[in-house]
Amino acid sequence: MGFPTTRLRRLRSSIGMRNMVRETVLTVNDFIMPIFVTHGTNIKEPISSMPGVYHFSLDRLNDEVDEIVQLGIPAVLLFGVPATKDAIGSSSFDTNGIVQEATRHIKSRHPHLLVIADTCLCQFTDHGHCGLIHVHEKNGHQIGEIDNDASLAYLVKAAVSQAEAGADIIAPSNMMDGFVHAIRTGLDEAGFTNIPIMSYAVKYASSFYGPFREAVSSTPQFGDRKTYQMDPANVREALREAEADVLEGADMLMVKPALSYMDIIRLLKDQFDLPVVAYNVSGEYSMIKAAALQGWIDERAVTLEMLTSMKRAGADIIITYSAKDAARWLAE
């Protein structure tokens, strides 16, 4: 033939051979496990749209965090389900707010488990938006618009109170313009110069958040989030979002959701030298669970394949509701 025949299959011939040449390895150190915390006692309430995920009151949280630590998962991401909501999301920056209480609780039990606090107002506002709303009249109609700059001060208060409670990382998910700069400045002024910001830099206005919004009842009461979250059709805009966050002082860049946005994960990995975080969101999790419950797919194989793909795309860290399952499977 004049040239050597290609034998790509030579390097796939045995388990040992495949293990030796594997390019992407998923480990438990890659995972962050989200936890939903709520006020009250003796609550471990299943979230119906997310089988295997619960709301926990603090007195029922110990078993969950003990298991997470025992599995070797390095971090949890806290979402609060507050008792009361109002126009400015006051319970998001209350010293005795649910996220602050849960942070203190977890850190006193497991000082080495990293606690990441989600910084957003949407779970805490009665209108369900991620920032403050400015209501005004336009053509005889009352309309509500996000007040970007007024929201920043409240997000800073939330971030600082989370850091005061002992959070190790602040993860702002609100998508207001300038939030990284505002929060960095606020944390520094309060003495938290060493607390990193994991920025939800590229967050799409996605339908994959459906089960999560049901879980924390944060569906907007009017309008949608399209004026602050990104259009799923855009990729160059993701670069502008990420670049702004890098300049403002972000320490890690998140892409959310993950599955439909693998190209964005790769882009950020190639363009910036910060760790890239992929958020494997609620809808992605629930689709696998639903199909697995029907017996249509192999849950373990599909989950590990998806998580490996996110890493291959460039994610250094993956936030996933499957963290505990995946940690168990990887250890087998």
Active site residues: 203, 256
Shortest CB 131 distance to ligand PBG, Å? 10
Q: Which of residues 211-230 bind ligand PBG (CB under 6 A)?
A: 212-213
CB of 300 to ligand PBG, least distance (A): 21
Indicate the residue among 56 and 212 with the shorter CB distance to ligand PBG: 212
Cα gap 37→328, rounded to integer Å: 23
Q: Rule CB under 6 A: is residue 282 a binding residue for ligand PBG?
A: yes
Establish if 173 lies at the interface with ligand PBG (CB under 6 A): yes
Helix (H) or strand (E) holding 319: strand 317-320
Toward ligand PBG, which CB reaches closer, 109 or 209? 209
Q: Which is nearer to ligand PBG, 105 or 225 (CB)?
A: 225
- Residue 282 corresponds to which amino acid? S
**Do residues 193 and 26 touch, judged by C-beta distance below 8 A?**
no
What distance in Å separates the CA atoms of residue 155 and residue 182, rounded to the nearest whole number? 8
Q: What is the three-class DSSP state of 245?
A: helix
Q: Does 120 bind ligand PBG (CB under 6 A)?
A: yes
> How many whole angstroms separate alpha carbon 130 and alpha carbon 176?
8
> Which of these ranges, 153-161, 207-215, 235-243, 305-313, lies near ligand PBG under the rule CB under 6 A?
207-215
**Taking a C-beta distance cutoff of 8 angstroms, is the pair 269, 239 a contact?**
no
* Per CB under 6 A, 261 contacts ligand PBG: no
Dist. CA 172–CA 253, nearest whole Å:
11
Q: What is the dihedral of CA 144, 213, 37, 171, to 10 degrees?
A: -70
For Cα atoms 34, 103, 108, give the angle at the middle one, nearest 5 degrees.
120
Can residue 118 be called a binding residue for ligand PBG (CB under 6 A)?
Answer: yes
Q: Using the rule CB under 6 A, is 241 a contact of ligand PBG? A: no
Query: Would you say 11 or 222 has its CB closer to ligand PBG?
Result: 222
* Site for ligand PBG, residues 38 to 67, rule: CB under 6 A: none
Rg (CA), the chain: 21
Q: Is 31 in the site for ligand PBG (CB under 6 A)?
A: no
Q: How far is the CB of 282 from ligand PBG (least distance, A)?
A: 3
Report phi then psi at 278, rounded to 5: -105, 135
Query: Measured at CB, which residue is nearest to ligand PBG?
Result: 212
- Closest to ligand PBG by CB, 34 vs 314, is 34
Among 53, 113, 122, 276, binds ligand PBG (CB under 6 A): 122
Kindly tell me which of 120 and 250 has the beta carbon lying closer to ligand PBG: 120
DSSP 197: B
Count of residues that bind ligand PBG according to CB under 6 A:
10
CA distance 111 to 68: 13
Chain positions contacting ligand PBG, by CB under 6 A: 118, 120, 122, 130, 173, 209, 212-213, 281-282
